[in-house]
């Protein structure tokens, strides 16, 4: 069974989540990937205004395809929009967690120092299934570019998501599904 | 003599880009269904269910299977009796990518320079591998390649004394390090022999085979099986959530090499293994 979660999350709702729990995410998230993270990190360092206040918010690591037209001829809200590899954002993540970021959505394992920062700041790292961008696009009900439009697919979007399927990859205790899961199924007698 | 006008190439390539990115091959769908039947991990099964549903939605809605519609990689075989009219073949391939990625609402994922990193805005240039062969056909295969799995690929120049066991260990180690990053269940292309760049090309070409189609030579098919079995004991599983299906298949290609060399390349492909061929 999946737990329904409202976003931006109430810290009280994040605390009981454990690595491996299935969730359905509902509410608003900001998209940012490599180039946007680089810009946000630089702005944080200089003390400049950020494109959005990360405090209590959720970042979704994605760079969607252009919205396009449905076979029936109507304008889509967004194109394919699945998670990208989170590890590339690891260098920027501790500073964002320090600034109050509540959760992230991506795919793939994080560095030990990021897992540690997630634990320290009582945040959560959610994973969505990589390569399911067409399915996940159906769970996005609105999308607008809020910063860095010059970055094209890497611009920061504000998305509203509904029953967006994810699992808890790293919980606020630092339990890591990418470690625990493979340990359960690993056959060691090589 | 087969005269082909560049306009036919441009439009053909544009259509290939869209088809390859929106319609997952039947061979991949079959392999994913088999994986679903085999997988014992609950989260792994759940991930496979989403992957299969995604393929259906993509095909039905004309949406890209994955938002990373990749760098357009081409393998082109041009018969020596082919004449290309009205322009240059390479430019026609780039123009086809430009048109296909624009018309199909595919993502522009190419930057102009690895250091300056400005998006070229039309997903060009493509990466083109061209060979001249006999006959009068022009065979164009596109294999859009996403970064998630390409970034987890690796090359190692082994010593001949490392032998088969050295090759097996390097492949397993590469998949192990990649973990959940390359969107498992993956397809693993392995190239052994030749020179450094030849091994990489072999590994990439190995990915063009229908998923799970064994190497015709039994001794090489046996190595593929051994590798698949070892990789699937790593426990990484679908989406990296833990499970028994980390890879759908291992495809091995070999080539003669130097008395002092044993190059091994591992090219990992995500489960969205996309390729399409056009023959003109």
Is residue A55 part of the annotated active site? The answer reads no
Residues 6+ apart with CB under 8 A from B99: B10, B11, B13, B14
For residue B183, the chain A residue with the least C-alpha distance is A130
Which of A75, A175, A182 should be substituted to probe chain B, the one whose Cβ sees the most B Cβ atoms within 10 Å? A182
Look at residues B240, B142, B38 and name the one whose alpha carbon lies nearest to residue A129.
B240
Residue A90's CB: how many other CB atoms inside 10 A? 18
Mean pLDDT score, A110-117: 98
Q: Tell me whether residues A133 and B50 touch, CB distance under 8 A.
A: no
Residues of chain B with C-beta less than 8 angstroms from the C-beta of A65: 63-64, 67, 69, 105-107
Q: What are the CA-CA distances from residue B101 to residues A75, B15, B19, B147 (Å)? A: 18, 9, 11, 17
What residue has token string 């995410």? A25
Q: Tokens at residue A182, please?
A: 């493979």
Helix, coil or strand: residue B149: helix
Residues of B in contact with A109 (CB under 8 A): 179-181, 240
Position B99 scores a pLDDT of 98
A71 pLDDT band, cuts 50/70/90, is confident
The closest of B89, B24, B110, B43 to B245, measured between CA atoms, is B43
**Residue for token digits 């929106």?**
B22
Q: A105 near A59, Cβ under 8 Å?
A: yes
Average pLDDT in chain A: 96
Q: Does A105 touch chain B (CB under 8 A)?
A: no
- Is residue A9 within 8 angstroms of chain B, CB to CB? no
User: A38 touching B, CB under 8 A?
Assistant: no
What sign for the dihedral angle of Cα B229, B230, B231, B235? positive
Question: Residue B111 has what DSSP assignment?
Answer: B
**In angstroms, what CA-CA distances link B266 with A117, A167, B66, B131?**
33, 29, 22, 22
Residues A101 and A123: beta-carbon distance below 8 Å? yes
Angular region, A44: left φ>0, alpha ψ -120 to 50, beta rest = alpha
Report the C-alpha dihedral over residues B67, B69, B70, B73, rounded to 10 degrees: 170
ipTM of this complex = 0.96
Task: Identify the band that residue A72 occupies on the pLDDT scale cut at 50, 70 and 90.
Answer: confident
Contact flag B117-A35 (C-beta cutoff 8 Å):
yes
Phi, psi torsion values for B266, nearest 5 degrees? -120, 115
CB B57 within 8 A of CB A134: yes
> Which pLDDT does position B181 carry in this prediction?
97
Residue A1's pLDDT is 84
CB nearest A71 (choices: B58, B62, B244): B62
- Give the DSSP H or E segment for B165: helix B163-178
How far does B249 lie from chain A, in Å, by closest CA? Answer: 18
CB contact under 8 A, A64 and B107: yes
pLDDT in tens, chain B (280 residues): 899 999 999 999 999 999 999 999 999 999 999 999 999 999 999 999 999 999 999 999 999 999 999 999 999 999 999 999 999 999 999 999 999 999 999 999 999 999 999 999 999 999 999 999 999 999 999 999 999 999 999 999 999 999 999 999 999 999 999 999 999 999 999 999 999 999 999 999 999 999 989 999 999 999 999 999 999 999 999 999 999 999 999 999 999 999 999 999 999 999 999 999 999 9
Q: Which of helix, strand or coil describes residue B104?
A: coil
Q: Mind telling me how many Å the CA of B62 is from chain A's nearest CA?
A: 7
- Please check whether residue B241 touches A, CB under 8 A: yes
pLDDT at A104 over 90: yes
Contact A108 B57 (CB under 8 A): no
CA distance A128 to B241: 10
Side by side, which strands form the sheet with B247-257? B154-158, B262-269, B186-194, B247-257
Please, what is the average pLDDT of chain B?
97
Residue B141 CA from chain centroid, whole number: 11
pTM score: 0.97
């Amino acid at each position: 069974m999946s737990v329904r979660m409202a976003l931006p999350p109430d810290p009280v709702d994040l605390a009981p989540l454990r690595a491996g729990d299935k969730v359905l995410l509902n509410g608003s998230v900001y998209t940012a990937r490599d180039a946007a993270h680089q810009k946000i990190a630089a702005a944080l360092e200089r003390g400049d205004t950020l494109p959005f206040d990360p405090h209590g918010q959720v970042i979704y690591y994605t760079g969607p395809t252009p919205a396009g037209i449905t076979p029936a001829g109507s304008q889509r809200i967004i194109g394919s929009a699945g998670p990208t590899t989170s590890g590339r954002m690891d260098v920027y993540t501790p500073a964002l967690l320090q600034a109050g970021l509540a959760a992230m959505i991506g795919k793939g394992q994080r560095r030990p120092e990021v897992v540690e920062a997630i634990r320290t700041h009582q945040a959560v790292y959610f994973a969505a299934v990589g390569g399911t961008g067409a399915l996940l696009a159906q769970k996005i009900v609105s999308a607008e570019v809020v910063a860095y439009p010059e970055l094209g697919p890497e611009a920061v979007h504000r998305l509203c998501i509904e029953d967006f399927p994810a699992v808890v990859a790293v919980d606020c205790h630092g339990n890591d599904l990418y470690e625990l899961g493979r340990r359960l199924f690993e056959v060691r007698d090589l | 003599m087969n005269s082909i006008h560049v306009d036919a190439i441009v439009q053909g390539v544009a259509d290939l880009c869209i088809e390859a990115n929106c319609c997952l091959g039947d061979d991949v769908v079959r392999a994913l269904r088999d994986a679903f039947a085999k997988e014992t991990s609950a989260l792994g099964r759940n991930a496979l269910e989403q992957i299969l549903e995604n393929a259906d939605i993509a095909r039905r809605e004309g949406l890209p299977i994955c938002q990373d519609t990749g760098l357009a990689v081409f393998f082109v075989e041009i018969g020596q009796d082919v004449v290309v009219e009205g322009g240059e073949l390479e430019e026609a391939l780039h123009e086809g990518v430009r048109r296909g990625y624009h018309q199909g609402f595919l993502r522009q994922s190419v930057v102009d320079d690895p250091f300056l990193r400005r998006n070229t805005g039309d997903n060009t240039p493509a990466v083109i591998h061209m060979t001249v062969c006999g006959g009068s056909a022009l065979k164009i295969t596109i294999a859009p390649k996403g970064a998630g799995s390409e970034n987890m690929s690796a090359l190692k120049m082994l010593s001949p004394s490392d032998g088969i066991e050295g090759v097996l260990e390097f492949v397993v180690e590469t998949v192990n390090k990649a973990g959940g990053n390359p969107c498992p269940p993956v397809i693993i292309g392995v190239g052994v022999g030749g020179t450094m760049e030849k091994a990489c090309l072999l590994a990439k070409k190995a990915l063009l085979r229908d998923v799970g189609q064994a190497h015709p030579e039994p001794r090489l098919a046996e190595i593929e099986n051994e590798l698949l079995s070892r990789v699937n004991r790593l426990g990484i599983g679908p989406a990296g959530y833990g499970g028994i299906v980390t890879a759908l298949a291992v495809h091995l290609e070999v080539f003669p090499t130097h008395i002092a060399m044993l190059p091994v390349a591992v090219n990992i492909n995500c489960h969205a293994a996309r390729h399409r061929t056009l023959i003109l």
